[in-house]
Every structure is written in structure tokens, then in C-alpha cells.
């Protein structure tokens, strides 16, 4: 499948070290990360929350407001208020609600406000959890990589150990790539250009492609690689044993954090919470024209349309996060590509340290 990436560089000879292979394909691999990132995260001019006050209001755009989730509801509310105002103007319907208790609509408004606040809060928690999990993955890769480099320093003359350590570091990047692709439900999950130069054999790539759960299979590759990179022979020193135990805990933590990200991706909020909120939104906009038509006249259309936009975009923002905030084409989702590029940059630095200190 062609995603628009350029041809990869010419392959290196088989005698090339894992670091040389990693660096040789780095530019092509990073271009592959970004090429399917869509119109927002791949754009340097994308609006960010740290931009100016009016910039974030005026230039966030249709998808930034998540209007694609609620455009039909907004149009329906606007057209309903227009039809109601026209019929009322020709005295075809009566808008006299004086018989209703004065606090009846206030109860609906209060309930709606509480539900919107709850919905927005739950969405913020999901986004924050996802962001925190990704941050821990970046930190764990950094710490685990330093453990691997430090372990290699204990035997600077051991060339096979250095090569195995470099392979393990490259496969940490492969794990991050796999996690990102899985969270995005990207098709294909295994896009070869994402993995080029990451020390995966053709048979290992095939196993990943055929795996029922690609993240779990990638973690098995890491475990097998760790056993050759961080062996603990009998009678080893206490320091080596503690370092080995620390590496195992960090790898376990990577599994835990990727599992947390998967939970966010696969477990949206219970449908009843969303259903109740949307039901109250419908009730609100059905009765709003009745309450303001006598005072606002034909301005009822404008008031209803603006109110619908304000309320519905809150619901839309929550719905956008509820699907799992990992998509490349959504402005408000986590920039997983930036996380991946950060991990790749850290691994590149660790590979340089691994070879410089052993040379």
C-alpha cells in the first residue's frame, strides 16, 4: 500500500551494526510516521491551546470544534426555531406558556448544565489519563534504555552484548510504533516503512502481521531480546542482579501502561450517560423558542442557533475524546506522532552513547 512516502535508501551491507542501520533509515522512517498524520498534527500551523485568545476562537475550524459530531443536531435546532418563529409570526401557533410553572424550565436547564459538566469532566479525565500513560511510556523507554547501556558498560569488550543491546533499543521504538498504530486502529497495523531499520527480521515482521494482538506479540519479542541482552549468570554480583530486576520491572510497566491506553481506546462511557444528556438537549431546544419568542421575535432563530452551538460543541468535544483520543486527523487528540518521535530521538541518543562508550 502506498502512503506517499519516498523510496527508502539503498540497503546497507549485512556487516553494518544495528546503530548504523537505525540511523541510515531514520529520516525515511520519521517521514513515514508523519505522512499518515492527517491535516492537523502534520501541519505546523495547527491551532494549539497555547495560541492567542482570539486565535483559538477564530481559527480552530470545523473539525476543531468537533462539529462533525453534532452538525445535524445543530441544523435541526436552527431550522426548528426558524419554522417556529415563522408560524408564530403568522399566528398559526400559540407561544403562550404562562400556564406552566415558572421554575419548570429552570429545572431542565439546571439538569442539563449538570450533565454537561459531568460529561466534560469525564472526557477531560480520559484525555488526561491517556496523556499520562503515554508520558510514562516515554519515561520507561528512556530509563530502560539507560539500564541497557549501563549493563553493556560492565563488559565493554563483549561485542555480541553490545550488538544485542542495540537491537533491544531499536525494538523499543518498534514497540512504540505498534502501540500507536493499534490505538489508532490504523490499517494496515503493520506498515513496513514504520519498522524499517528497527532490527526486526522478516519472520518477526510476519509474526507481528499475523498476530491476534500485535502489541502483545511485540512485547514477546522484547522479552526474548531482554533475555539475551540482560542475562544474569549464576553467581553474579548483587548490583547486576538488581539491575536485571529493575529492567524486568520497567518492561512490566510498559505492558501495564500500554494496557491502560488500550482500556481507554476500548471502553467508552456507558451509553446511558450519553443518552440522558442528549435527551435533555432535545427537550431544551424544543421548549427554548416558546420561552423567548414573545421577547425576541424573529431573533429567536439567532438565539436558538447560538445556544445550540455552545451546548452542542461541549457534547461534541466529549464525544470526540470518548472514541479514544489517539487519531491523527483530529485536532483535539493526543499527538502520538510527537511521542513516537521523542522516543526515537531518545533511542538514537542511547545508541550513540552505547557505541561511544564501548569504542
- pLDDT attached to residue 104: 67
pLDDT greater than 80 at residue 195: yes
DSSP 285-328: HHHHHHHHHHHHTTHHHHHHHHHHHHHHHHHHHHHHHHT-TT-T
- pLDDT attached to residue 4: 44
Q: Which of 28-37, 201-210, 254-263, 336-345 has the lowest mean pLDDT?
A: 28-37
List, for residues 144-190, the tens digit of each pLDDT value.
999 888 888 777 778 888 899 999 999 999 999 999 989 988 766 66
Residue pointed to by grid coordinates 495560541? 51
d(CA 332, CA 335): 9
d(CA 216, CA 209): 12
Q: Which of 34-43, 181-190, 217-226, 342-351 has the lowest mean pLDDT?
A: 34-43
pLDDT greater than 60 at residue 102: no
d(CA 222, CA 172): 7
Cis peptide before 188 (omega within 30 of 0): yes
Tell me the HSE value of 166 on the side-chain side, using a 13 A CA sphere.
Answer: 25
User: For the chain, how long is the longest CA-to-CA vector?
Assistant: 96
pTM > 0.75: yes or no: yes
Over residues 84-89, mean pLDDT = 92
The residue among 153 and 21 whose pLDDT is bigger is: 21
Q: Which of 19-33, 234-248, 269-283, 285-299 has the lowest mean pLDDT?
A: 234-248
d(CA 108, CA 282): 11
Over residues 218-239, mean pLDDT = 73
The residue count for the chain: 359
Residue 4 CA from chain centroid, whole number: 23
The residue among 239 and 120 whose pLDDT is bigger is: 120
Residue 199: which of 10, 7, 6, 19 has the closest Cα? Answer: 19
Q: Kindly tell me the burial class for residue 287, based on how many C-beta atoms sit within 10 Å of its own C-beta (0-12, 13-18, 19 or more).
A: middle
Question: What is the SS3 assignment for 282?
Answer: helix
pLDDT greater than 60 at residue 1: no
pLDDT band at 359 (very low <50, low <70, confident <90, very high): low
Cis peptide before 323 (omega within 30 of 0): no
- pLDDT attached to residue 3: 43
C-alpha cell of residue 274? 450519553
Q: How many CB atoms lie within 10 A of CB 311?
A: 22
Cα-based distances in Å from 252 to 44, 220, 247: 36, 11, 9
- Which element (helix H / strand E) includes 67? helix 67-89
Residue 264: which of 216, 218, 215, 326 has the closest Cα? Answer: 326
Amino acid at each position: 500500500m502506498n502512503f506517499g512516502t519516498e523510496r527508502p535508501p539503498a540497503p546497507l551491507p549485512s556487516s553494518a551494526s544495528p546503530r548504523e542501520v537505525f540511523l541510515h533509515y531514520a529520516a525515511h522512517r520519521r517521514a513515514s510516521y508523519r505522512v499518515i498524520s492527517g491535516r492537523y498534527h502534520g501541519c505546523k500551523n495547527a491551532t494549539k491551546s497555547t495560541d492567542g485568545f482570539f486565535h483559538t476562537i477564530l481559527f480552530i475550524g470545523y473539525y476543531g470544534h468537533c462539529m462533525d459530531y453534532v452538525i445535524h443536531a445543530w441544523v435541526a435546532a436552527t431550522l426548528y426555531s426558524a419554522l417556529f418563529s415563522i408560524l408564530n409570526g403568522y399566528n398559526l401557533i400559540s407561544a403562550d406558556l404562562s400556564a406552566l410553572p415558572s421554575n419548570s424550565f429552570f429545572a431542565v436547564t439546571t439538569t442539563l448544565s449538570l450533565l454537561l459538566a459531568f460529561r466534560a469532566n469525564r472526557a477531560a479525565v480520559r484525555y488526561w489519563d491517556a496523556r499520562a500513560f503515554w508520558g510514562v511510556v516515554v519515561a520507561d523507554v528512556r530509563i530502560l534504555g539507560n539500564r541497557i547501556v549501563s549493563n553493556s558498560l560492565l563488559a565493554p569488550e563483549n561485542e555480541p552484548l553490545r550488538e544485542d543491546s542495540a537491537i533491544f533499543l531499536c525494538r523499543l521504538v518498534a514497540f512504540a510504533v505498534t502501540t500507536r498504530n493499534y490505538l489508532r486502529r490504523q490499517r494496515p497495523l503493520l506498515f513496513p516503512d514504520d519498522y524499517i531499520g528497527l532490527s526486526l527480521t522478516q519472520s518477526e515482521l510476519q509474526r507481528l502481521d499475523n498476530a491476534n494482538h500485535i502489541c502483545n506479540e511485540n512485547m514477546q519479542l522484547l522479552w526474548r531480546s531482554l533475555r539475551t541482552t540482560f542475562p544474569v549468570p549464576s553467581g553474579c554480583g548483587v548490583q547486576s542482579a538488581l539491575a536485571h530486576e529493575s529492567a524486568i520491572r520497567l518492561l512490566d510497566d510498559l505492558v501495564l501502561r500500554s494496557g491502560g491506553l488500550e482500556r481507554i481506546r476500548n471502553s467508552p462511557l456507558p451509553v446511558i450517560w450519553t443518552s440522558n444528556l442528549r435527551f435533555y438537549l432535545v427537550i431544551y431546544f424544543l421548549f427554548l423558542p416558546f420561552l423567548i419568542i414573545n421577547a425576541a421575535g424573529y431573533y429567536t432563530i439567532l438565539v436558538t442557533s447560538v445556544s445550540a452551538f455552545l451546548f452542542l460543541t461541549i457534547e461534541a468535544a466529549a464525544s470526540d475524546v470518548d472514541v479514544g483520543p489517539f487519531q491523527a486527523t483530529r485536532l483535539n487528540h493526543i499527538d502520538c506522532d510527537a511521542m513516537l518521535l521523542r522516543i526515537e530521538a531518545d533511542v538514537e541518543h542511547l545508541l550513540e552513547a552505547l557505541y561511544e562508550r564501548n569504542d
